[in-house]
Amino acid sequence: MITEDRSIYILDRYVDVAPFIATVSQAADSDKHALGFVPAGMLNDFARKDQLLVAVDRNNDGLAYAGHLLFEARHPKGHVLQVFVDPAFRKRRVATLLLNHLKQYLTEHAFISIYARVAEDLAAANHFWEEQGFYIQRIARGGNTKNRTIFVRSHELDTPQLFAPSGLNTTDPLGLNSDYAPEIPLFLLDLNVLFDLGPRRQRNEEILDLFRMERAGSCRLALSTEIMAELSRTASVGVTDPMQSYARIFPSFPTIEKEWDVLAPALASIVFPERHRTGTLRDNDVSDLRHLATAIQHRLTGLITNDTSILDAAIKLYEQYGIHVISPRAFKDLNAQAAREEIFEAGANDLLSIMPIGREEEMEVRNLLSGLGIPNAALVTEWAGIDSNEHVCNRFGVWSANGLTGYMTWPKTMKPNDVAVHLAVDEKQPGSGNAVRLMLGYLIEQVTAGRTSQIRLIFPPEQALVREIAATLGFGGLEGQSSLTKLALGGIVTVSNWARRMDEVFLVSRTRLPDTPPTYRSVDQQLRFVRPDGNVGHISLMTLETSLSPALFCLPGRPAVVTPIQRGYAEHLLAHSAQKSLLPHARARLYEERHYFSSPNTLKRFERGNLILFYESGKNQGQGAIVAIARVQHAYLKSQEAMENADLDPSVLDPAGLEAIGQSLVKTVTAFDNIVHFERPVPRSTLQRLGCGRPTDLLTTRAINDTQLQGILSEGFAHGTP
Give the model's pLDDT for residue 339: 65
Q: Within a 13 Å sphere around the CA of 116, how many CA atoms are in the beta-carbon half?
A: 25
Q: Within a 13 Å sphere around the CA of 381, how many CA atoms are in the beta-carbon half?
A: 7
CATH number of 224's domain: 3.40.50.1010
Q: Is residue 180 part of a domain?
A: no
Range of the domain at 355: 346-488
| Max Cα-Cα span within the chain | 107
Q: How many domains does one find in the chain?
A: 5
- From CA 438, how far away is CA 500, in angstroms rounded? 31
Are 284 and 240 within one domain?
yes
- From CA 73, how far away is CA 69, in angstroms rounded? 13
Are 276 and 365 within one domain?
no
C-beta neighbour count of 200 within 10 angstroms: 5
Closest CA relative to residue 553, chosen from 674, 649, 653, 634: 674
DSSP letter string, 80-120 = EEEEEE-GGGTTSSHHHHHHHHHHHHHHHTT--EEEEEEET
CATH number of 648's domain: 3.10.590.10
Q: Is residue 119 part of a domain?
A: yes
Give the model's pLDDT for residue 217: 72
CA separation (Å) from 293 to 232, 298, 319, 344? 20, 9, 15, 53
* Domain final residue pick, 466, 488, 510: 488
Distant-in-sequence, close-in-space partners of 234: CB < 8 Å, separation ≥ 6: none
Give the model's pLDDT for residue 3: 42
Residue type, 84: F
Are 36 and 139 within one domain?
yes
CATH number of 461's domain: 3.40.630.30
Instruction: Specify whether the CB–CB gap between 158 and 107 falls below 8 A.
Output: yes
Q: Is residue 174 part of a domain?
A: no
**Tens digits of residue pLDDT in 186-239:** 888 887 787 777 667 777 777 777 777 777 777 888 888 887 777 777 666 655
Give the model's pLDDT for residue 239: 59
Q: Is residue 685 part of a domain?
A: yes
Are 211 and 302 within one domain?
yes
Give the model's pLDDT for residue 487: 93
Are 327 and 193 within one domain?
yes
Q: Is residue 169 part of a domain?
A: no
Are 350 and 454 within one domain?
yes
- From CA 491, how far away is CA 548, in angstroms rounded? 10
Q: Is residue 635 part of a domain?
A: yes
C-beta neighbour count of 545 within 10 angstroms: 22
Q: Is residue 172 part of a domain?
A: no
List of the chain residues with pLDDT < 50? 1-4, 162-163, 180, 335, 720-722
E-state strands within 526-610: 526-530, 536-540, 551-553, 560-565, 594-598
Are 285 and 414 within one domain?
no
E-state strands within 617-709: 625-639, 666-683, 702-704
* Domain final residue pick, 276, 300, 332: 332
* Domain final residue pick, 332, 361, 384: 332
- From CA 136, how far away is CA 488, in angstroms rounded? 23
Are 148 and 262 within one domain?
no
Are 391 and 430 within one domain?
yes
Give the model's pLDDT for residue 459: 93
C-beta neighbour count of 58 within 10 angstroms: 14
Are 442 and 402 within one domain?
yes
- Burial label for 159, CB within 10 Å (0-12, 13-18, 19+), is middle
Q: Is residue 512 part of a domain?
A: yes
- From CA 510, how far away is CA 452, in angstroms rounded? 13
Are 482 and 500 within one domain?
no
Are 325 and 221 within one domain?
yes
C-beta neighbour count of 232 within 10 angstroms: 10
The residues with which 154 forms a beta bridge, in sequence order, are: 115, 135
Give the model's pLDDT for residue 720: 47
The residues with which 398 forms a beta bridge, in sequence order, are: 354, 406
In eight-state DSSP terms, residue 512 is: B
C-beta neighbour count of 34 within 10 angstroms: 16
